[in-house]
Structure 1
Amino acid sequence: MRASRLVTLLLLLQNRGRMTARQLAEELEVSVRTVYRDVEALAAAGIPLYGDAGHAGGYRLLDGYRTRLTGLTADEAQAAFLAALPGAAAELGLGTALAAARLKLRAALPAELREHVERIQERFLLDAPGWYGDADRTPHLPAVAAALWARRTVVLRYRRWRAPEEIERRVEPYGLVLKAGRWYLVAGGPSGIRTYRVDQVLEIRQLDEECTVPDGFGLAAYWTGYLAAFRERLHTGEALVRLTRQGSRSLGVTPTGGEWTEVRVPIESVDHAHGEFLRLGTDIEVLAPAELRDRIATTVRTLTARYEG
């Protein structure tokens, strides 16, 4: 356990530069006193590790020092190759770089770990886009990514769903997110941080103005909050329904054990729920709201008359 922690501490300093004992303790989930002991152990092993005193101090490695990836476990090596997204990297213009990086990583691994990652590539494939739809065309993705790398402000001509449909926005790119095969740009502007679908960008112009990411902003944390807020806006109501065992499985509800399970489920709207619940056929009965129950009953009567006729 401690050997793994020492390797992690070393890699943290190698990748992030100077870090305080408290920062290292938070990353490693140990006490500051444990960090002091680990640093002493690394120094005793000959690692060129130095500590700077003072408010802006911390631990750092001697400039130019790099460690080889001989500390990787089999699971870590497999995860590194499984997490690679060649399609996404190619869209960002990094396909060649990703291929080269994987070759270097493979070359740095011991023979037994190389066998593990070869099995991963033979047996697992990640295809991010969903079914029943062509992949979004994102001709301006490389330009968006270039502005993001360069930390440059951009002007977007953007298409949205409400009027006016085409707008122009001056924004500061903070990050790119790939969600279910679709790229989203997270950017700051006059009205705060917003999310833009990259496939709806009609034109992009990079400005010679450096953008500044706000203190405390984290892309992963922002996206988690954005998704939570989206779900809250999406499910604005609820319906009381009875489900058969098959209907419960279809909606991801745990059956109560009887023939029917009565449960409240969130719905986006009556219109949306009407279509979704009809797909379940006789495996569902809507009890409330009355408007939704009446809509489904009317549709069923119409279908019955049509097919009997």
Structure 2
Amino acid sequence: MRAGRLLSTLLLLQTRGRLTAQQIADELEVSVRTVYRDIEALSASGVPVYADRGPAGGFALLDGYKTSLTGLTTDEAAALFLAGSGATAGDFGLGPTLDAARLKLLASLPAEQRTIAGRIQERVHVDAPGWFRDPEAPPHLDAVAVAVFEQRKIQIWYRKWDGASVERTIAPYGLVLKGTAWYVVAAGNTRTNAYRISRIDAIAPLDEPFERPADFELRRYWLEFSERLESTLYSGGSAVVRLAPRAVRLWFLLGPVAGRALRETSTPDGDGWVRVTVPIESIEHARADFGRFGADLEVLEPPELRDVMRETAAELARLYLAP
């Protein structure tokens, strides 16, 4: 533990130059007293570290000194690849490990490239989840990940979208992070499917290895699965609606499918309203989706959906006109 912290202190001084004891302590989440002890240990081991006193002082390395002790550990390499795949290293408990790996990577770069990389890190921040969405923290993610990497089957008790619970024995091929939700792509008794990990109520690791098909590509499978899911979800036909300008601005609330339908539609009429043909999951789903727009959306077709919206409006009127 201390050896890793000493190396992190050394790499911080190498990549960032002069740092105060408090700055090092904040980076490594240790006390200032621990930093002083680590600096003494580095100096005693022959590292040319010196201290400047005063308001602009701090610890620094002699000009030209550079350590070559920047090899990545297995966990650090895994954390870097997780970050490169868009996954969240913190979900696997690898947040600090990822920070250490980045520091080693910076230290291994020439000075000019290190400056550019540091500038990017300072000025670009990626916050992948959409607005107003809390990231999921599925309790069984670690157990599923272990089964994926060890290629061992697991038994899961899974809650389907309609609330029904089923038991499955699956061979997990890979993990996918979609927005803020984790999925495991796994082979069951009859076919390969994707399971949302937050819906796994219980899991039992099995001492039963499996062979991952040599021709299986996780990215290709997920793209095909996404296309099938989209076509299944929007199998309830389509609806023709009129949107007021305010509804057009808020149309993104219905997701990318509705967004594509709007982009492909005609220009606004004289009052600024836009006519859109959009696929729907079902009459009930459409009632809930379109209801959020209030009087800024009018359903034209199909007749049964227009009737449902009319009944909903009448119920709202009775509710709010009542004493």
- TM-score where L is the length of structure 1: 0.65
CA distances 1:23-72 after superposition (whole Å, capped 9, x unpaired) = xxxxxxxxxxxxxxxxxxxxxxxxxxxxxxxxxxxxxxxxxxxxx9xxxx
2:95 aligned with 1:89:
no
Contact 1:137 1:199 in 2 (8 A): yes
2:250 corresponds in structure 1 to 250
SS at match of 2:250: helix
1:290 corresponds in structure 2 to 303
Amino acid at match of 1:258: D
Amino acid at match of 2:180: G
Identify the range of structure 1 (206-215 vs 216-225) with the bigger mean alpha-carbon deviation. 206-215
CA distances 1:198-235 after superposition (whole Å, capped 9, x unpaired) = 22223333333321122321111111111111111111
**What is the alpha-carbon distance in structure 2 between the residues aligned to residue 241 and residue 83 of structure 1?**
42
Percent identity, aligned pairs only?
43
Contact 1:187 1:194 in 2 (8 A): yes
**What is the alpha-carbon distance in structure 1 between the residues aligned to residue 157 and residue 199 of structure 2?**
9
Alignment coverage as a number of residue pairs: 230
1:140 corresponds in structure 2 to 140
Cα gap change, 1:189 to 1:234, in 2 (>3 Å): same
2:120 aligned with 1:116:
no
**What is the alpha-carbon distance in structure 1 between the residues aligned to residue 179 and residue 130 of structure 2?**
6
1:266 corresponds in structure 2 to 279
Amino acid at match of 1:287: L
Cα gap change, 1:159 to 1:244, in 2 (>3 Å): closer
Cα gap change, 1:246 to 1:215, in 2 (>3 Å): same
SS at match of 2:138: coil
User: CA offset at residue 84 of structure 1?
Assistant: 5.1
Amino acid at match of 2:107: A
SS at match of 2:195: strand
SS at match of 1:239: strand
User: CA offset at residue 129 of structure 1?
Assistant: 4.2
CA distances 1:108-166 after superposition (whole Å, capped 9, x unpaired) = 2222332333233333333444555544332221121112111222222333345751x
Cα gap change, 1:159 to 1:261, in 2 (>3 Å): closer
SS at match of 1:168: strand
- TM-score where L is the length of structure 2: 0.62
SS at match of 1:302: helix
Contact 1:87 1:95 in 2 (8 A): no
Contact 1:242 1:285 in 2 (8 A): yes
1:99 corresponds in structure 2 to 99
Cα gap change, 1:196 to 1:292, in 2 (>3 Å): same
Identify the range of structure 1 (117-126 vs 80-89) with the bigger mean alpha-carbon deviation. 80-89
Contact 2:91 2:137 in 1 (8 A): no
Unaligned stretches of 5+ in structure 2? 1-69, 71-79, 252-258
Unaligned stretches of 5+ in structure 1? 1-67, 69-79
**What is the alpha-carbon distance in structure 1 between the residues aligned to residue 206 and residue 234 of structure 2?**
39
